[in-house]
């Protein structure tokens, strides 16, 4: 069941990203214009020459968090998607070893990016209109970047606590199975939000 849901979720996300990318007019011209200018090799993470020390740390933490999430995603989902098998051996060790680094970076990013990622009054109004299925002017809006950021942050909590709780003897066998299921599905949701957020950030940085 989880294998089918994972395949369906990832396919829908990547098709949606492809449709969104192709639907943006003059995307190729903008990319060529940008490539003609002198940019930092780390432009994709917002690295600039005049960044302060905290700004550099924030971007380094973001890159490390994404790298750790990629490692955890590959180790966790490769076996489940290919053969519906759980992790074991060195793959499990790599997965577990990346988790503390990821959580540490996420906590740092939450503290340092929370104020910048708060919704403005205009974005709240846009969100309200979208919920009511009303037409909005979304040009230059950062609403979905912020929503996916907060979604990934909130999902990190149940994804982490559920699997940590399994390691203790506070719960019986049935409860541990439920916690493991919670970890699987919240992790899938976390990866989904992270993929969309990274795509939106890269699109924003390439403008």
**CA-to-CA dists, residue 153 to 8, 70, 191, angstroms:** 23, 16, 11
Which has the higher per-residue pLDDT, 100 or 28? Answer: 100
Which residues are CB-contacts of 137 (< 8 A; sequence separation ≥ 6)?
none
pLDDT tens digits, 59-83: 899 999 999 999 999 998 888 787 7
Distance (Å, whole) CA 27 – CA 100: 38
Tokens of 178: 């439920």
pLDDT tens digits, 148-170: 999 999 999 999 999 898 888 78
Which ranges constitute the DSSP H helices of 48-172?
53-83, 89-113, 121-131, 143-166
What confidence score (pLDDT) does residue 25 get?
65
Is 15 a residue whose pLDDT tops 90? yes
Lowest model confidence (mean pLDDT) among 29-33, 170-174, 184-188 = 29-33
Distance (Å, whole) CA 97 – CA 110: 21
What is the percent of the chain with per-residue pLDDT over 70, rounded to a whole number?
Answer: 88
What is the value of pTM for the model shown?
Answer: 0.85
Torsion over CA: 11, 17, 21, 22 (sign): positive
What confidence score (pLDDT) does residue 41 get?
67
Q: Which residue is listed with tokens 């929370």? A: 114
183: enclosing H helix or E strand: helix 173-205
What confidence score (pLDDT) does residue 94 get?
92
φ, ψ for residue 144, nearest 5 deg: -70, -30
What confidence score (pLDDT) does residue 26 get?
54
pLDDT tens digits, 99-139: 999 999 999 999 999 988 898 888 888 889 888 888 877 67
Q: In which band, very low, low, confident or very high, does the pLDDT at 45 lie, cut at 50, 70 and 90?
A: low
Tokens of 34: 């940008």
Is 56 a residue whose pLDDT tops 70? yes
Torsion over CA: 180, 183, 187, 188 (sign): positive
Cα-to-chain-centroid distance, residue 40: 23
Q: Are 141 and 83 in contact (CB under 8 A)?
A: no
Architecture of domain 2-205: Up-down Bundle (1.20)
């Amino acid at each position: 069941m989880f294998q089918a849901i994972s395949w369906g979720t990832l396919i829908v996300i990547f098709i949606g990203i492809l449709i969104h990318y192709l639907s943006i007019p003059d995307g190729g011209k903008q990319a060529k214009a940008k490539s003609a200018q002198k940019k930092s090799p780390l432009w994709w993470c917002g690295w600039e020459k005049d960044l302060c020390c905290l700004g550099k740390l924030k971007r380094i933490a973001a890159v490390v968090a994404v790298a750790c999430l990629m490692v955890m995603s590959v180790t966790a989902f490769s076996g489940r998607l290919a053969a519906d098998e759980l992790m074991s051996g060195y793959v499990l060790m790599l997965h577990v070893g990346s988790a503390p680094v990821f959580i540490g970076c996420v906590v740092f990013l939450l503290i340092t990016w929370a104020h910048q990622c708060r919704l403005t009054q205009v974005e709240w109004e846009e969100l309200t209109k979208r919920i009511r299925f009303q037409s909005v002017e979304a040009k230059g809006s950062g609403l979905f970047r912020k929503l996916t950021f907060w979604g990934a942050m909130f999902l990190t909590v149940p994804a982490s606590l559920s699997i940590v709780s399994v390691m203790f003897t506070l719960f019986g066998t049935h409860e541990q199975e439920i916690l493991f299921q919670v970890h699987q599905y919240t992790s899938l949701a976390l990866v989904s939000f992270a993929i969309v957020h990274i795509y939106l950030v890269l699109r924003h940085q390439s403008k």
